[in-house]
Amino acid sequence: MKQRNPWSWVPTLYFAEGLPYVAVMTISLILYKQLGLSNADITFYTSWLYLPWVIKPLWSPFIDLVKTKRWWIVSMQLLIGAAFGGVAFTIPTSFWLQGSLFFFWVMAFSSATHDIAADGFYMLGLDQHQQAWFVGIRSTFYRFATIFGQGILVMIAGNLQVIFRNSIPFSWSLMFYGVTGIFLSLWLWHSYILPRPKEDVKREDASTAIFQGFTDMLVTFVNKFPLREVIIGLLFMLLYRMPEGLLAKISALFLIDAPHNGGLGLSPQEYGLVQGTVGVIGLTLGGILGGMAASKGGLKKWLWPMVCAITLPNIVYVYMSYVLPSSLIIINVCVFFEQFGYGFGFTAYMLYLIYYSQGAFKTSHYALCTAFMALSMMIPGLFAGALQEAVGYRMFFIIVMIACSLTFIISAFLKIDPNFGKKEKCE
């Protein structure tokens, strides 16, 4: 293998992994809201875009059977770049909804496939020491992509609207053309810089073994614990984030919706600052502190504080829906508080996925768990917009707080090894 400094490709690889995800999941919301789509339609259409991440474990074996992981990475980045260009092209047209949704679908499937290949390539291209060293770096640059996507890019779209006298479709189209250029640059860079590990080869003779292993993996997934614990575990994966599944898309729409509709009326620039920058910083800090806390006391000790953290801060949206604050400082504080709590509480969820995935087929079982994680966001999102339009923002956020009881109830039934997650047990 030709030696490449991991600093030359790991940061950019995970930046490229995060950018299409945030485009599909967040930027699309702001785009469609500004183009006049209803909240019900926005949440319904964009929630279906979670589907590739739900079903990606089903086609992950093909990544091993067809070509190399390096080939998949480079090919998917080219396809994602083309999808960004497709979104840019269709926005100003009469078929903007059908066209942009098609290319967002292409982007979503390409991004999910890219995730599989990139995570596998990471383990092939680095030795164990490097893998441990760069795990924090890859997460950091994924966060940078999130801030860049829902922060800076949304701000740019807003500034372009000022420059071009509120020409919303044209402004968004220009922004997406810019992202197309960025992503094609990433594709060219990775085509050159990614190493070629000897282990990164297609497995032509392994199709039978892989699919047999896939069957065995599914069987062991549902048989690794007594049936009651398996059912509770799967329900935990689906229900722990139920309030967040309802809140995630509507909170973004609430921030930018007009005051006469019950929203805060933030401009794209203000949204980019509040949710895309301050909110992401809060989320990141909460995640870091959550990881530090769990490593000292273990998952079982910190479960209930984290359950409270991921649910109770949602009340800031009840407050904002009643008060409708005009101060950006107050809005930033509220969003930071909610996102910090979510980041801290989400640690328990991720640790439980690792806990459930222990034993044989650890990697594959974790992939299945992440599929349930995506499903837990997809299902509530499908009807969140219709519910909000039926009851209004105020009552919707109250319903979210009521839904928090599901998180508490399902968490009470979990059985967790008291030592799991403690630092001394992980060394």
Q: What is the DSSP letter of 49?
A: G
pTM confidence score = 0.87
Instruction: Look at residue 322 in the predicted model and tell me its pLDDT.
Output: 96
Instruction: Look at residue 426 in the predicted model and tell me its pLDDT.
Output: 38
The pLDDT of residue 178 is above 90: yes
Instruction: Look at residue 172 in the predicted model and tell me its pLDDT.
Output: 96
Instruction: Look at residue 228 in the predicted model and tell me its pLDDT.
Output: 87
Instruction: Look at residue 206 in the predicted model and tell me its pLDDT.
Output: 57
- pLDDT tens, residue by residue, 374-392: 999 999 999 999 999 999 9
Mean pLDDT lowest among 155-159, 227-231, 264-268: 227-231
pLDDT interval class at 299 (50, 70, 90): confident
The pLDDT of residue 66 is above 80: no
Q: What angle do CA 272, 46, 284 make, to 5 degrees?
A: 40
The pLDDT of residue 400 is above 80: yes
Instruction: Look at residue 298 in the predicted model and tell me its pLDDT.
Output: 82
The pLDDT of residue 423 is above 80: no
The pLDDT of residue 424 is above 60: no
Mean pLDDT lowest among 1-5, 111-115, 116-120, 239-243: 1-5
pLDDT interval class at 209 (50, 70, 90): low
User: 328: burial class by Cβ within 10 Å (0-12, 13-18, 19+)?
Assistant: middle
Of 131, 96, 97, 109, the closest CA to residue 50 belongs to 109
Instruction: Look at residue 425 in the predicted model and tell me its pLDDT.
Output: 42
pLDDT interval class at 162 (50, 70, 90): very high
Residue 397 burial (CB count, 10 A): 26
Are 356 and 315 in contact by the 8 Å Cβ rule? The answer is: no
Judge whether 1-204 and 208-427 match in fold. yes
Q: Which CATH class is domain 1-204?
A: mainly alpha
Q: Please, which residues have CB within 8 angstroms of residue 299's CB and are 6 or more apart in sequence?
A: 348, 351, 352, 355, 416, 420, 421
Average pLDDT over residues 271-282: 92
DSSP string, 273-335: HIIIIIIHHHHHHHHHHHHHHHHHH-HHHHHHHHHHHHHGGGHHHHHHHHH----HHHHHHHH
Instruction: Look at residue 131 in the predicted model and tell me its pLDDT.
Output: 74
Residue 374 burial (CB count, 10 A): 17
Alpha-carbon radius of gyration of the chain: 21
Q: Please, which residues have CB within 8 angstroms of residue 208's CB and are 6 or more apart in sequence?
A: none
C-alpha–C-alpha distance, residues 3 and 197, integer Å: 9
Average pLDDT over residues 185-194: 94
The pLDDT of residue 56 is above 80: yes
Q: What is the dihedral of CA 257, 263, 265, 270, to 10 degrees?
A: -90
The pLDDT of residue 223 is above 80: no
The pLDDT of residue 325 is above 70: yes
Residue 138 burial (CB count, 10 A): 21
The owner of tokens 């599929």 is: 371
pLDDT more than 90, % of the chain = 62
Average pLDDT over residues 104-132: 85
Work out the mean pLDDT of the chain and round it to a whole number.
88
Of 49, 44, 55, the closest CA to residue 25 belongs to 49
Where do the structural domains in the chain lie, given as residue ranges? 1-204, 208-427
Q: Which CATH class is domain 208-427?
A: mainly alpha
Instruction: Look at residue 354 in the predicted model and tell me its pLDDT.
Output: 81
More confident residue, 204 or 199: 199
C-alpha–C-alpha distance, residues 140 and 132, integer Å: 14
Could you tell me the two tokens for 295?
């490593």
More confident residue, 355 or 376: 376
- pLDDT tens, residue by residue, 72-84: 999 999 999 999 9
Q: What angle do CA 374, 91, 178 make, to 5 degrees?
A: 80
The owner of tokens 């309030």 is: 243
